[in-house]
Structures are given as structure tokens and as C-alpha cells.
Amino acid sequence: MPQTQEIIKSLEKIKSEYSAGADRAKSAAELADWKARYLGKKGELAAIMSSLGGLSVDDKKIAGRLANEIKTAVEEIYEKSIRSIHESEYIARLGAVSDLTLPSVGVPRGRTHPLSDTMEEISSIFVSLGFAVADGPEIEDDYHNFAALNFPDSHPAKEMQDTFYVSSEGAEKLLRTHTSPVQIRSMKGGTPPFKFIAPGRVYRHEAVDATHSYVFHQVEGFCVDKKTNLADLKTVLETFIEKFFGKKSSVRFRPSYFPFTEPSVEVDVECLVCSGAGCKACKNSGFIELLGAGMIHPNVLSNCGLDPNVWQGYAFGIGVERFAMQKYGVDDMRLFYKNEMRFLRQF
Ligand SMILES: [Zn+2]
């Protein structure tokens, strides 16, 4: 019995002491020494365990349980302490080599593409003029891309050399050749008055050169109301040009032809380089051709279920690339698509 008491006393003593020793250990080596003192082959716990032989079964159980408790606790403390020692050592090492006041090496920063910026800018100007933004699919059908927009079946734009046709099961599909199908979809799906822009990507089977590409961007705009006319269109476009180029510039309408507008006009803007005096940029004409527009053809309104005797509207189509080229003085459209970093970094 006295032997049992002694053993339990020793175990209780270890229990009261061990945690303080772990707190004092300041390095991994010191912590390992501390652990070995209790759990090592020649440690205190091993010594006590080897003396349990003479005890009764019940006493062995009591002492064994206490010894196990100590063993588990010491191991847990060791794991926790070694982690925090490693962390402190790591932070100390970092502190020795890092100077937080040094300028950083810098992470290369991405930016939006100039065409995306231009399209975004065009859109936000029209939104400020009360236009809502509409969207439509890039893969269209003949009806929305041509027929509903008053293209006769024999129109040359429908020829294979101008349009990319997409073979699919069932109806023939095509890559939209302009953003005007959004007009049809928006008018058919809503009730007038309408005031929308439709920014997006369009496709044409064109040879690529400095001013043409088989994929480019348009912002279509249209307004349908009971009373709206070419004068409204002119005011809207003049306001837009002034906001976009940051310079007042007069707008000139020239008669033109598009199947979906009547009358149709080409919109010229007084040359922003020479203010109309004549220069290389405007080929000495004083004006630059910038976009096409007109009053929405009565047939288009009828196709969308609107009575052309009640409703009228204007529409315009802005070529995003052309506007970006004018604004930034870029003379070759292909530069926008080359992903040449030296070019893109200028914007
Ligand atoms: Zn000029």
C-alpha cells in the first residue's frame, strides 16, 4: 500500500509540473528535452511504470490510468508547442530578410480592351440620353436578320459571300450581320414607345484589311414613338458626337439606302482634326463618314405588329471600331485584334 501511495504521489507531482516546463522551452531542442524528460526511455514516466510490478491489480489500474493521462497530455502539449515554436522561428527568419518599406516588385495589371472601353463609353452616353440597353443572340435566323428588316429575298447581302451561314438541324441559321435583329426582337416583345441601344458583335464574310474585318462591333440604336423624326435623330447624334469626342462638331446627313430605313442617311461628321478646313484625315473634304441611320421603314414596323400610321421611329448603327479609330487616331483596324501588348498598353 505505501508503495502505491508513493507511486501515485510521484505521478501527481509530474502532473502538477509538466506544463510549466513546456512554457519555458523556447526552441525545438528545448521542447524535445522537455518531452524526453517525461516520455523518454529513461524518462520519469518510464521509471515509474517499471516499478508497477509489485502492485495489486486494482492499484495497477489506478496508477496506469494516471500515467496514461499524463502521457496523452504531454504529447498534446508537445504538438501544440512545436507548431507555435516553428511559426515563431519562421517569422523571425522572415524578419531578418524582409524590409517592408522596399517598393514591391509589382503584379502586372490587366486592363479592358480599347474596343470594350469604346463600346462601354458609347453605351453609357446613350443611357444618359434615356436609351435602355437590349441584347440578342449572335446566331440568328433569316427572319430576324433579313426578312423582318425588309430585305427582299434577292438582296445581295444574303449571298454566301457576305453572310456566314451555320448549318444546324432544322432551320438555317447564320451569324448575325448587324445588331438590327435586336430591334425586331425588342419591338415584338414589348409595347411602344421604345428607346433602345443594342451593343454587340457582328459577322460578315469580308476580306480583312485596314478598315474591314470579318468580325466587328456595332451599337444599334432605335427609338419608336408617336411623334419622332429626323430632327430628333440629328439632335441625338450631335449630342452623342460631342460627348464622345469631347468636341462640338456639326453633323451632315447625306441621302443613302438601307432596306430597313426610309428615308436612309449616311451621317458625316465635321472632321475632328481640321474642323472642316480639309486635311489628310478627311481627304480634304472637311467631313468624315461615321455611321448610317434613317427613319425605320414602315414595313419593319408592320412586321413587328405596329401600325405605321400611328408609330414612327428612327434607327442608327454605330461601328465601334470606326469610332475607336477616330478617337484614338488608329489608322488600321487590324491592330485591335492582334493582341500586341505594345499597342494595347497605350490605352
Ligand atoms: Zn480634316
Tell me the pLDDT tens digit for each residue of 221-268: 999 999 999 999 999 999 999 999 988 888 899 999 999 999 999 999
Judged by DSSP in three states, 159 sits in: coil
Q: How far is the CA of 277 from the centre of ligand 1 (A)?
A: 6
What type of residue sits at position 117? D
Q: How confident is the model at residue 93 (pLDDT cuts 50, 70, 90)?
A: confident
| pLDDT number for residue 42 | 87
Residue 159 has pLDDT above 80, yes or no: no
What is the per-residue pLDDT for 170?
66
- Position with higher pLDDT, 275 vs 304: 304
Pick 250 or 160 by higher pLDDT: 250
Confidence category of residue 102, pLDDT binned at 50, 70, 90? confident
For residue 2, the model assigns a pLDDT of 57
> DSSP 3-state helix, strand, coil percentages of the chain (rounded to 5)?
45, 20, 35
Q: What angle do CA 164, 296, 333 make, to 5 degrees?
A: 45
> How many Å lie between the centroid of ligand 1 and the Cα of residue 270?
8
What's the pLDDT band for 168 if we cut at 50, 70, 90? low
How many whole angstroms from 90 Cα to the centroid of ligand 1? 66
Determine the distance separating the centroid of ligand 1 and the alpha carbon of 286, expressed in angstroms: 5
Cell numbers found for residue 279: 486635311
pLDDT (tens digit per residue) in 15-46: 888 888 888 888 888 889 988 888 888 888 88
What is the per-residue burial (b if ≥16 Cβ within 10 Å, else e) of 159-187?
eeeebbeeeeeeeebbbbbbbbbbbbbbb
Asked if the model's pLDDT at residue 214 lies above 60, the reply is: yes
Between 155 and 137, residue with greater pLDDT: 137
> Quick check: 178 pLDDT over 60?
yes
Ligand 1 centroid – CA 288 distance (Å): 8
Q: Residue 152: what pLDDT?
A: 86
Query: 149 CA to middle of ligand 1, Å?
Result: 35
How many A from CA of 326 to the centre of ligand 1? Answer: 11
pLDDT at position 96: 67
Q: What is the predicted pLDDT for the residue at 184? A: 93
**Span from the CA of 248 to the centroid of ligand 1 (angstroms):** 15
β-partners of residue 283 are none
Q: Which CATH number fits domain 114-344: 3.40.50.150, 3.30.930.10, 1.10.3720.10, 3.20.20.100?
A: 3.30.930.10
Please return the burial class of 344, using the count of CB atoms within 10 Å of its CB with bins 0-12, 13-18 and 19+.
middle
pLDDT category at 160 given cuts 50, 70, 90 is low
Mean pLDDT across the chain: 88
Is pLDDT at 114 greater than 60 in this prediction?
A: yes
Q: Residue 94 pLDDT more than 60?
A: yes
> Is residue 329 pLDDT above 70, yes or no?
yes
Ligand 1 geometric centre to CA of 243 (Å) = 19
What proportion of the chain, given as a percentage, has pLDDT over 70? 97
Q: Note the pLDDT of residue 108.
A: 82
Interval between CA 257 and ligand 1 midpoint (Å): 25
Quick check: 65 pLDDT over 90?
A: no
CA distance 4 to 55: 7
Which comes out higher in pLDDT, residue 275 or 192?
192
Comparing C-alpha atoms, which of 71, 74, 90 is closest to residue 31? 74
80-92 tens-digit pLDDT:
989 988 888 888 8
Least confident of 49-58, 193-202, 265-274, 320-329: 49-58
DSSP string, 12-52: HHHHHHHHHHHHH--SHHHHHHHHHHHHSTTSHHHHHHHTG
Which residue has better confidence, 295 or 208?
295
Q: How far is the CA of 267 from the centre of ligand 1 (A)?
A: 16
Residue 3 pLDDT exceeds 80: no
Q: How far does the centroid of ligand 1 lie from the alpha carbon of residue 321, in Å?
A: 19
Confidence of residue 332 (pLDDT cuts 50, 70, 90): confident
pLDDT of residue 230: 93
Q: Which residue did the predictor score with more confidence, 206 or 138?
A: 138
